[in-house]
Chains A and B, each alone.
Chain A
Amino acid sequence: MSAAAPKIRVRSLAKSFGEKRVLDGVDLDVPAGTSLVVIGGSGSGKSVLIKCILGLIEPDAGTIEIDGENVLALGQEARRAIAARIGMLFQNSALFDSLPVWENVTFGLLARRRIRRAEARVKAGEILGQVGLAASAGELFPAELSGGMQKRVALARAIAATPEMLFFDEPTTGLDPIMGAVIDGLIQDCVKRLGSTAVAITHDMASARRIGDNAAMLYGGRIVWEGPAASLLESGNALVDQFTHGRREGPIRMELRA
């Protein structure tokens, strides 16, 4: 590994909701220009982890460094500037339902005044094409789309401004296998071609190995395993093995009570 500071460095991050400790000392490094896949059981705190890095949830303890700078110590303006350098695909898409699809897709570009409104429809059509949607879908409203289409629009919105960091919260959940593979390819492309640094959460092992350079497993509020994504299926770690092979018996006890 290079001596340069990683793009994203998380140290002993902790977050509780009431009595419930969701994150309990998470350490994580994401070198610039690589992609990290985070796996972990439902409710293990994956979404909370990336929302902390984005600055949407205030952690109780720990540090988050981006380009060597502790984000949590910065003022509101500076943190907002950092959030603007991150593209995020939310787990539930979080499209603006009062705006048509084209305005959703180009929202970040318009907000940064990188394009004018007159050009936005055409630009939106181009980006929609990249995620396998017809340009005519731009005229629809989010509520008129299927769940999978909403996901792709959300992806288009996240990558539209070609941000230097990209976070994907379950980008392929709800897509058919072929479209899933297409989206995986698109994510790989963003990382390779644009040099973005990516963090993706996924439950799909095939997808994890396709898009991730590295993988990390979150369990019990900590990272219990980290390694190359290619070795996910033969990690030698009992927790990861049980998870990736989907076995009912093993060290992980699913908390069926929330």
Chain B
Amino acid sequence: MNLLLGALAAFGRPVLILCRGTGRLALFAFEGLSHLVRPPFHVRRFAAALIEMAYFSLPVVALTAIFTGMVLALQSYTGFSRFAAQSAVASVVVLSMTRELGPVLAGLMVAGRVGAATAAEIGTMRVTDQIDALSTLSTDPMKYLVAPRLLAGIIALPLLVVVADILGVLGGFIVSTASLGFNAVTYLHNTFNYLETMDVVSGLVKAAVFGFLIALMGCYNGNASRGGAQGVGAATTAAVVSASILILAFDYVLTQLFFAR
């Protein structure tokens, strides 16, 4: 009997901790979002966060997208030529980019770049009492630090994904026409022929969700950090890891929602 109880307790404790953590995170997210509809708004903070997230992530996302498009073209060409189905290369590239790889890769790159920076900045502010200082200066930390970043994430990632989609297709186009011997006009025709609005829109919706998750995990982990530089380091790692895992998990859920019949 005791053994059974012990086993149950050993199983129950992590479950409880997980539930409590999820609950806290949900409350945090809800509070942050609620400030987006309650004035005053920190427009300046939002602009700064948007520039940081969108503009300064451009080079990383652009490079990732262009190389991914190039590799996709090569790989699908070698695969499909076995079945004499080379003409599918163009649509494989554009569909993979818009539906999956654009949002997911941009999300993962931005999670590494911005998620980490956000967690480090907010974490340092937490352990040096700067967040406490905000509330003694008539400023709600959730409104000032978290809400603008959440909104910036929701807007920045779709913008980046538009760029990633275009550059990914361009990468595939360059490889296909320059080294695989495709005709440029046919390739472009094949690219756009099979592309539907839903493919692009679903990718952009995914991107908005990923951007929100990145900002949320950065802010949440930063805000929860305790005890000096080590705590901030741990928070940074947690922010990147949790954002990356959530991106992949939500990617599955959203794909299921959009395309499963």
Residue numbers of A with Cβ under 8 A of B are 51, 54-56, 80, 83-84, 86-88, 90-92, 94-98, 107-108, 111-112, 157, 161
Contact = CB atoms under 8 A, between A and B. Distances in A.
Contacts of A92: 128-129
Nearest to B135: A83
Q: A-side binding surface: helix, strand, loop or mixed?
A: loop
Contacts of B140: 80
A157 B137 contact: yes
Which are the 9 A-B pairs with shortest beta-carbon distances?
A: A94-B129, A108-B137, A84-B138, A94-B133, A111-B138, A88-B136, A111-B139, A56-B132, A90-B129
A94 B137 contact: no
Contacts of B132: 51, 54, 56, 90, 94
A157 B130 CA distance: 13
Contacts of A94: 128-130, 132-133
A108 B138 contact: yes
A55 B132 CA distance: 9
B135 A56 contact: yes
Interface residues of B, number: 14
Residue of B125, B128, B129 ringed by the most chain A CB atoms within 10 A: B129
Contacts, number: 50
Contact of B138 (A90, A97, A112): A112
B199 interface: no
Given A92-B128, A96-B130, A98-B121, A54 B136 contact: yes
9 contacts: A51-B132, A91-B129, A94-B133, A95-B130, A97-B124, A98-B121, A111-B137, A111-B138, A112-B138
B133 A88 contact: yes
A80 B137 contact: no
Among B121, B124, B137: residue with most chain A CB under 10 A: B137
Contact of B135 (A80, A98, A157): A80
Interface string B30-73: 00000000000000000000000000000000000000000000
B136 A87 contact: yes
Interface string B147-168: 0000000000000000000000
A80 to B, nearest CB: 7
A136 B140 CA distance: 29
A217 B138 CA distance: 31
A127 to B, nearest CB: 14
Nearest to B144: A111
B139 A96 contact: no
A107 B139 contact: yes
Contacts of A55: 135
A91 B137 CA distance: 16
Contact of A86 (B121, B125, B136): B136
Name, among B125, B133, B135, B140, the residue most crowded by chain A CB atoms within 10 Å (CB to CB). B133
A248 to B, nearest CB: 31
Contacts of A88: 133, 136
Contacts of A54: 132, 136
Contacts of B136: 54, 83-84, 86-88, 108
A90 B133 contact: yes
A107 B141 CA distance: 13
Contacts of B125: 96
Contacts of A91: 129
A91 to B, nearest CB: 8
Interface in B97-147: 121, 124-125, 128-130, 132-133, 135-140
